[in-house]
A and B are shown apart, each in its own frame.
Chain A
Amino acid sequence: MKLLNASWWKVLCVIFLMYTVIAGFLVEVPHLPILHETIRNLYFHVCMWFSMMFIFTVSLVYSIKYLMKPEEDSDIIASEGVNTGIIFALLGLITGSLWAKYTWGAWWINDPKLNGAAITVLSYFAYVVLRSSIDDEQKKARISAVYNVFAYVMMLVFVMIYPRLSGVDSLHPGNGGNPGFNAYALDYHMRIVFYPAVIGWVLLSAWIASINIRLERIKRNNHN
């Protein structure tokens, strides 16, 4: 609770994000064919997914905690984590889509990594649907915790393992023989913006989640 309420990391978050937005557009970037300036999307799109992974991992940990020791607080953190993570996943899809329009010429293509990401978002939507369909609090918490574990493992399969399989052809950078963002981010100019960007966006996701969690705690306290 103390860490959630502390303001030092929120100030840090604001500083990093402002730096990201300003430097992200002003600092020069390596000029690569086709990509040109759109490589700047790295600071936003990739960070969205990093934040989503972070929040979903936290949610998973608290789901497992709930299964081991049923405490209402674990359930609150798990469910609000998923809610926040979904926002970042959708933002990731949107930023990716914008990038795709300029680089590939289409908002969406039939690509394994993209499909995997979309299905991931769908499976977490199903989590929200599941939660809303059960009335009893404890049953809801327990069953959604079970489903959360499933959905997380499937997400790892979709987003990380599946696009890397040998038979799978993907156009997305980093899969299917395209140079991954490691090749881009090794450039010094990108690194000085990218690393703070990751920290800034992850902190933002933690901040949003913390607000959601505190709100939910208050709501439930009022209920009881």
Chain B
Amino acid sequence: MQREMRHELRSRRSWLAILLYIASTVYITYLAFQHDLDPVTWNALFWILIIFISMFAASGSFAGREGEMLYIYTLVSPRKFIMARLLYNGIFMLLVSIAAYIGYSFFAGNPVGNIVLFMASMLLAVWGISSLLTMAFAISGKGGGGFTLMAVISFPLLVPLLITAQHVSSISMQAGGDNYVGSLAALFALDAIIAALCYLLFPYLWRD
């Protein structure tokens, strides 16, 4: 069942839209800073980019699926649906953020010293962000508030993820940093908490 869901969701037309969005946001950010970016600013801007792109990607994933929802509701248990959805969105967001990273490095340089650590922080953080935004979008979808509501709901909840991710990636700017294990563990724990909450709470949202 899970695999079926994933394959079904894979055929999307919006790949081009997302890539275009990444390209334009990266380029605009680059244009806004005429001189070379120091690592701290680079880091901050990178995570802001990731937020915007995630919001866009998350909103795209739920749009235009109203008719299908009833059909899916009768077929699949909500728990499986949300796991499949989280999995798919997580992988999708990861690819998107790697693309963003490549694009950003292309324009603004790549001051990352410890690539492995950076990638680890990106992997964990992006997974958490995508799960949270998926859940937030599900909530706001039921609420009928649209994009504003989703932004309002998701922003405060995103902040611990972002702060921790920024902390780890700023450590990764120096080649081989120290004192990062605690924050990485914190990121992982946050992801686990978010995923568990989504898993537990989604069926209640689903009943409609």
Which residues does A use to contact B, with CB under 8 Å?
67, 112, 115-116, 119-120, 122-123, 126, 129-130, 133-134, 139, 142-143, 145-147, 149-151, 153-154, 157-158, 161-162, 165-168
Contacts and interface: CB of A to CB of B under 8 A. Distances in A.
Shortest Cβ-Cβ A-B pairs, 10 listed: A123-B156, A166-B182, A122-B156, A133-B145, A146-B201, A119-B159, A119-B156, A134-B143, A126-B152, A126-B153
B174 to A, nearest CB: 14
8 contacts: A119-B156, A126-B153, A130-B149, A139-B143, A146-B139, A149-B201, A157-B190, A162-B163
The residue in A119, A120, A142, A154 that gathers the most chain B C-beta atoms within 10 A of its C-beta is A154
B183 interface: yes
B143 A112 contact: no
A165 B182 contact: yes
A157 B153 contact: no
A69 B205 CA distance: 14
B156 A143 contact: no
A119 B207 CA distance: 30
Nearest to A146: B201
Interface string B134-173: 0100011011110001001101110110011001000100
Contacts of B152: 126, 129-130
B204 A145 contact: yes
Interface in B179-208: 179-180, 182-183, 186, 190, 193, 197, 200-201, 204-205, 207-208
Contacts of A116: 160
B194 to A, nearest CB: 8
Interface of B: 135, 139-140, 142-145, 149, 152-153, 155-157, 159-160, 163-164, 167, 171, 179-180, 182-183, 186, 190, 193, 197, 200-201, 204-205, 207-208
A185 B183 CA distance: 31
Classify the interface of chain A: helix, strand, loop or mixed.
helix
B157 A123 contact: yes
Contacts of B205: 142-143, 146
A98 B145 CA distance: 37
Contact of A151 (B142, B157, B183, B204): B157
A67 to B, nearest CB: 5
Contacts of B171: 167
B24 to A, nearest CB: 29
Contacts of A129: 149, 152-153
Contacts of B160: 116, 119, 154, 157-158, 162
B114 to A, nearest CB: 15
Contacts of A133: 143-145, 149
Nearest to A135: B144
Contacts of A145: 204
Contacts of B142: 134, 139, 143
A162 B161 CA distance: 10
A84 to B, nearest CB: 19
